[in-house]
């Protein structure tokens, strides 16, 4: 199985991934603060998904 290599992608797709990677941390922080003040099931679920995406970017799985 070949390893995912983001530099083989077209430039526009690579730029989208880079933008999503840079924006993920501020969104996670905002969602964490929102979840601490107004905890709903949806907020907790969304925070879990966002943390998973952030960790995937951090460990370079995406």
Q: What share of the chain is helix, strand, coil (3-state, %, to 5)?
A: 75, 0, 25
Per-residue pLDDT averaged across 29-56, rounded?
A: 94
Question: What's the pLDDT band for 1 if we cut at 50, 70, 90?
Answer: very low
CA 58 to chain centre: 9
Asked which of 1-5, 16-20, 53-57 is least confident by mean pLDDT, the reply is 1-5
**Cα–Cα distance measured from residue 20 to residue 54, given in angstroms and rounded to the nearest whole number:** 10
Residue pointed to by tokens 């929102």? 34
Phi, psi dihedral angles at 3 (to 5 degrees): -80, 145
Model pLDDT, residue 4: 67
């Amino acid at each position: 199985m070949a390893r995912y290599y983001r530099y083989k992608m077209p430039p526009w797709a690579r730029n989208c991934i880079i933008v999503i990677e840079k924006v993920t941390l501020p969104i996670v922080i905002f969602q964490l603060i929102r979840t601490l003040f107004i905890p709903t099931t949806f907020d907790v679920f969304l925070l879990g998904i966002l943390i998973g995406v952030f960790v995937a970017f951090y460990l370079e799985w995406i």
